Structure 1
Amino acid sequence: MSKGNMSFSQKVLSSQDVSELIESGWKKADLHVHTCCSHDVPAWGPVHPKVLYERALSKGMNYVTFTDHDTINAFDLLGSNKDSLVTGVELSITDIQNVGHSIHINVFELDREQFNTIASISSKRQNIFELIDFLKDDDLLYMYNHPFWFAAGEVPNLSVIPEIAKNFPLIEYNLQELKQKNQFAMALAHRLDKGMAITTDSHTGSIGAAYTIAEGDDFRSYFKNICEGNAFLVTDFSLWKHLSRELSVWVELAFNTDKHVGSDFFTDVEKVNRAMRILGSEVFSDHPLFNKLTMKSIQKLSLSGLPVLVYTLSMQPMIHDIKNVFLTY
């Protein structure tokens, strides 16, 4: 089962398709999950690291990791010496000179000292190649997250993405992204002979709705097998269904979060931040029935798929631009 024998599209399977492999000892992990320690996750019990850790184990995850934005505080809350737990972080770096837009990188099996170093490189020196050199020198495991995601307001430098991707052993298939973007990520991994892992990138506690299976008696050997293409991408959810459900649950989190605990909450989208400030106002906190009815109405809209459809249509110009880059690459 090498990368040359099977396309990545053939490796996206349902849980039923891989039941025999799991029974024979192949390992499962969702390599991109956020807890309440991420700045864009409302503070609520179901997304606490302790709750998510137990949920992951109940879903049969053999390795459990949390990749919060630019912090490893989840492991301080949980304790890093638990069985099957792997330290992780989603690192953000905006290297204007070498890239031109923001890149997110998941790093695994790091300690506090290593985190402090890479956080400094990404936030102060902002040099992607210096960061990658450090990751290699310290023998850390890392992955290029959603290569065709861009922060709100950014003008992406699409032509540089294939060159940047050459420096990564693993590229992500992200269940939060549009199908077309994941298809481009698959094509990128195939052309560069890189491994690919599927993740939920869940901000609402949906850990394990997608996972990557591979052999490996420890996390490092498991990760190595994924990088070598000896793995399968598993999900029982369509991207459309996952995004709609994620949005619906996120609405519930937003309406039920402790407004004081969640005062540091912010996203990359100012309209969402403004909405959260409104939800935290006295209009909602002092009128629980109005709060509940509003939440149910927005959830119903979320589950209808309409917001996902609008988002999909809004992304079509970007999809066209990405396609043009690939035609010339």
Structure 2
Amino acid sequence: MGSGTYTGGLKVISSDRAAGLMENGWHKADLHVHTCCSFDVLSAASMHPESLFRKGRRNGLDIVTFTDHDTVKANDIIGWKREGFVPGVELSVRDPVNVGHTVHINVFGFDREQFLEFDHLAREKKDIYSLIDYFRSNDLPYVYNHPFWFPRGDRPNFPAVPELVRHFPVTEYNMQDLRQKNLFVMALAQRFGKGMVATSDSHTGNIGSVYTIARGDTFHEYFSNISKGRSWMVIDEPFCKYLTGELNSWIELAFSRRKNIREEVGFTTGMGQLDKFISLLGSDSLEKSPRMSCTAKNILKQISGSGVPALIYMISKQPQVSRIGRVINA
């Protein structure tokens, strides 16, 4: 992406450029990572919070955090006050009155009691603005995740997104989502003077493959600088290449624990046709035949490596991209 570029007034640089800044008091973190504690992550050993914590530190992350879906099990495993670790969670909020579709929020730096309080608000009150008031009153950093990504089955309320962005200090450039959608988010962040973070949102252990750098001796200082735009997003790969790599990692994980795939409830790659093919990995015939298993793995990797699944996914989302564009431009 070049040594440094401005996209919509927000800064994106390469890892080579970031390396120079890191020598001068900047810190880096990937603020959206999932472990095997998330319902949609395969429970391979490499996805255990301890394994991912060590990998994140080896990859040079000054701050490691895990944002599993509506659970803090990873925090329990790692230790809430472990050095180099910041407690996190990805909270799912369904507010039928103010929004209409499910919103995902990453929250950081809370304790167990606070989690129970805001988790109860999300589940019972279902009022996103009450949640935001809670985060503000308790000085908890929070991020609007992938604003233009919507769970399967949800009916997106596109006009609600710009209004929501106004109420968040930071929003997200999510590498699991289309570049066009991320550019729309960047345009909104610039319009409303919001900070942005680049995140992997990895469900396969690719922690720190993209990240955000900013100054700050504490996590709150680091996050405050991001919210003020005093940060850089570090992204090296285009979406298609990144997604292909994530799919390849998923295939490796799937075959490493193939016998238990049928027990994985709720997992999805986000690509319906690929999900159907991968479901065959749990069949008795593949369990009994190493040769068939090896053949199936090679076929999957060839399909994924061709870039076709990523391309199909991109094409399938173009109508949605057009609708979002009309809302943003309006």
Q: What range is the shorter-chain TM-score in? A: over 0.9
Task: Kindly indicate whether the alpha-carbon contact (under 8 Å) linking 1:34 and 1:203 is maintained by their aligned counterparts in 2.
Answer: yes
Whether contact under 8 Å (1:44, 1:258) holds in the other structure is: no
- Give CA deviations for 1:284-314 in whole Å, capped at 9, x if unaligned: 2222221222012111211111011101111
Where does residue 237 of structure 2 map in the other structure? 237
Partners of 2:113 and 2:67 lie apart in 1 by 17
How many angstroms apart in 2 are the aligned matches of 1:47 and 1:255? 14
Q: In 2 relative to 1, CA 76–273 (structure 1 residues): closer, same or farther, beyond 3 Å?
A: farther
Normalised TM-score (structure 1) = 0.93
- Contact kept? 2:67, 2:106, Cα under 8 Å: yes
Q: CA RMSD in A?
A: 1.9
Number of the residue aligned with 2:49: 49
1:298 to 297, 300, 304: 300
> CA 1:312–1:261 in structure 2 vs 1: closer, same or farther (change >3 Å)?
closer
Structure 2 CA distance for aligned equivalents of residues 242 and 235 of structure 1:
10
2:37 alignment partner in structure 1: 37
1:68 aligned to 2:95?
no
Q: How do 1:1-329 residues align onto structure 2 when only pairs under 5 Å count? A: 7-8=7-8, 11-257=11-257, 259-260=259-260, 263-267=263-267, 271=272, 277-328=279-330
Distance (Å, rounded) in 2 between the aligned partners of 1:311 and 1:238: 14
Distance change (3 Å), C-alpha of 1:276 and 1:224: same
Q: CA deviation at 1:262?
A: 7.6
SS at match of 2:220: helix
Scaled by the length of structure 2, the TM-score of the pair is 0.93
Distance in 2 separating the partners of 1:258 and 1:73: 24
- SS of equivalent residue, structure 1 residue 103: strand
Q: Is the 8 A contact 1:32 1:202 kept in 2?
A: yes
Residue 17 of structure 1 aligns with an amino acid whose one-letter code is R
Structure 1 residue identity aligned to 2:240: W
What corresponds to 1:3 in structure 2? none
- Output the CA distance in 2 between the equivalents of 1:101 and 1:33: 22
Separation of aligned partners in 2, 1:312 and 1:9:
25
Structure 1 residue runs of 4 or more that deviate by more than 6 Å after TM superposition = none
Name the CA distance, whole Å, in 1 between partners of 2:283 and 2:159. 44
Name the amino acid aligned to 2:238. Answer: S
Which shifted more, 277-286 or 231-240? 277-286
Distance in 1 of aligned mates of 2:271 and 2:317: 18
Cα deviations across residues 154-213 of structure 1 (Å, max 9, x unaligned)? 210000111111110001000111110010010010001000000000001001110100
Query: Relative to 1, partners in 2 of residues 1:50 and 1:147: Cα closer, same or farther, differing over 3 Å?
Result: same
The alignment-based identity, stated in percent, is 44
1:82 is displaced (CA, Å) by: 2.2
Distance (Å, rounded) in 1 between the aligned partners of 2:287 and 2:120: 39
Letter in 2 for 1:209: S
Over 3 Å counting, the alpha-carbon distance change for 1:50 and 1:125 in structure 2 is: same
Contact residue 145 and residue 172 of structure 1 kept, 8 A: yes
Q: Give CA-to-partner distance per residue, 1:248-301, whole Å, 9 cap, x none.
A: 111221222365598353146694766565422322222222122201211121
SS at match of 1:285: helix
- Structure 2 distance, partners of 1:171, 1:290, is 45
Question: Unaligned 5+ residue runs, structure 1?
Answer: 1-5
C-alpha contact (below 8 Å) 1:214/1:232 kept by paired residues: yes
Q: Distance in 2 between matches of 1:283 and 1:117?
A: 48
Q: Secondary structure at the match of 2:263?
A: coil
Cα separation, 2, equivalents of 1:133 and 1:289: 57
What SS does structure 2 have at the residue aligned with 1:224?
A: helix
Q: Deviation of residue 17 (structure 1)?
A: 1.4
- Asked if structure 2 preserves the Cα contact closer than 8 Å seen for 1:43 and 1:262, the reply is no
Secondary structure of 1:106's partner?
A: strand
Deviations 1:204-241 (A, max 9, x none): 10011101000001111000000000000002222111
SS of residue matched to 1:67: coil
Aligned-partner Cα distance in 1 for 2:14–2:163: 32
- Aligned pair in 2 of structure 1 residues 261, 306: CA closer, same or farther (>3 Å)? closer
